[in-house]
Amino acid sequence: MTTKSKRTGQDAQVSQVEFGENAVLARVVGPHNQHLVEIERKLEIEIVHRGNRLTIHGPANSRAHGAQVLRDLYAYADRGHEVSITDVDRAIRLGLGGDSVVASSSSVSTPKRTIRPRTPGQARYVEALTKHDLVLGLGPAGTGKTYLAVAAGVSMLARGEVERLILSRPAVEAGERLGFLPGDMKEKVDPYLRPLYDALHDMLPADLIQRRLDEGIIEVAPLAFMRGRTLAHSYVILDEAQNSTPQQMKMFLTRLGEGARMAVTGDLTQTDLPAGQTSGLAEARSVLANVEGVAMIEFTDEDVVRHPMVQRIVRAYAAFDLRRNQGAKRS
């Protein structure tokens, strides 16, 4: 793979990138060059594809950015991954300043797959999850807060660094009054915990998950079930923590036992608590700000790694909330 630039006139600025494997490059450019069209549109450049060579026309900074995006995507495809339009968008957003994490060596290994952080915020989060006893991951939907925390827990369990993996969420939609719901206890709580099961199935074979659940090595339970317990030698995750009350949050955090680690994730803009009820996550963010051993990672819309539309939705709501708050202050 080589890159070179040449100047043929005042306005003609060209860079060329060559790749070794045409089959890999085909995944990078996409069906009918769709991925190249997206890169051209976002970076305001022109890319000409001939054989294993891509020629980039445009301003110097944009050409350099485009070349980096193509190299990142090629490295990603060369590791056996299919390249989607979402991957292209991530590579474009993360290529500025050469800070690409699509091809990052930082990773979390689980029995089914290796999971790599895709944004600088995710990379900081993964590092915190491996180094701190308590990590708070706060930010908008689609930033990988829960998924990466589950990956870190599964990885530590597989390596024998912890003896149990405990995943929890507030069942706020049921007001935690699970006795009023139909079915046995598993049937009552499973709808609220399904996203955690989905993450587990991405990282562990289904038969192994069931065995670990039966053995109690993996536990998925509502937040209300944590009361009165001491969670030692475990990796414990509280997801959707914005829906906990301050009392529930304090209860959960004080379950931390010997040899245990905790990750608490949530989005303070999406609380389902009754109007006027303080979020336990919001309170913990203030209370724990200067506590030794606690890491607090705050994601932004730049860390959204779902469909590109999710990032635009997050930004639109943030702008709407800002206008609404400004209007409230003026009135």
The pLDDT tens digits for 123-169 are 899 999 999 999 999 999 889 999 999 999 999 999 999 999 999 99
| Rounded Cα–Cα distance for residues 150 and 144 (Å) | 10
Confidence of residue 315 (pLDDT cuts 50, 70, 90): confident
The pLDDT tens digits for 281-295 are 999 999 999 999 999
With 50 as the cut, is the pLDDT of residue 314 above it? yes
CATH topology assigned to domain 108-321: Rossmann fold (3.40.50)
Q: Which CATH architecture has domain 2-98?
A: 2-Layer Sandwich (3.30)
Residue 142 has a pLDDT of: 86
Domains of the chain by residue range: 2-98, 108-321
The pLDDT tens digits for 186-195 are 565 667 788 8
DSSP for 316-331 reads HHHHHHHHHHHHHHH-
In percent, the amount of the chain with pLDDT more than 90 equals 52
Residue 183 has a pLDDT of: 54
| Rounded Cα–Cα distance for residues 215 and 212 (Å) | 5
The pLDDT tens digits for 239-294 are 999 999 999 999 999 999 999 999 999 999 999 898 889 999 999 999 999 999 99
Comparison of pLDDT for 309 and 216, the residue scoring more: 216
Beta strands in the chain (DSSP E): 2-7, 13-18, 46-50, 53-57, 108-109, 114-115, 134-138, 164-169, 218-222, 234-238, 261-266, 294-298
